[in-house]
Amino acid sequence: MGTHGRLPESELDIMLVIWSKGGGVTAPAILEALERPLTASALHSYLKRLEEKGFLSCQKEGKTNRYTPLVSRAEYQHSEGRSILDKLYGGSLSRFAAALYDGGPVEREELQALQELLDSLREGGS
């Protein structure tokens, strides 16, 4: 995934729809699911760019195109997360987490999930 690079917000919005639909999505279905209005021609331009960048494949079925992701959401999340962590926080997970905390209350379940993550990292890292 590293060779695909970062997506601009408009293209990411489209990929989020395609990932949520599980692939094999038509342009009208994408337009319907987008949270912001977009013309059909603008959508087709974005889809073409996503194909050129290697994020999507397009299969023609008669007069309809179906778009399937070539990069999974998890792969993109991993790559983007690593990039942000490295660029903005010098690779420090603790500085990143501290930057996200706003001082407000944290749900008990969220604290438990974080503790389990730390425990698993500690077990795997030693």
For the chain, give the secondary structure using H, E and C.
CCCCCCCCHHHHHHHHHHHHHCCCEEHHHHHHHCCCCCCHHHHHHHHHHHHHCCCEEEEEECCEEEEEECCCHHHHHHHHHHHHHHHHHCCCHHHHHHHHCCCCCCCHHHHHHHHHHHHHHHHHHC
pLDDT of residue 2: 47
**HSE of 6, CA atoms in CB hemisphere, 13 A:** 8
pLDDT of residue 22: 87
Beta bridge partners of 26: 66
pLDDT tens track, the chain, 126 positions: 445 678 999 999 999 999 999 878 999 999 999 988 899 999 999 999 999 999 999 999 899 999 999 999 999 999 998 888 899 999 888 888 888 888 888 889 988 998 898 899 888 864
pLDDT of residue 25: 96
pLDDT of residue 117: 87
Q: What is the pTM of this model?
A: 0.78
> With the C-alpha atoms ordered 80, 85, 90, 91, is the resulting torsion angle positive or negative?
negative
pLDDT of residue 55: 97
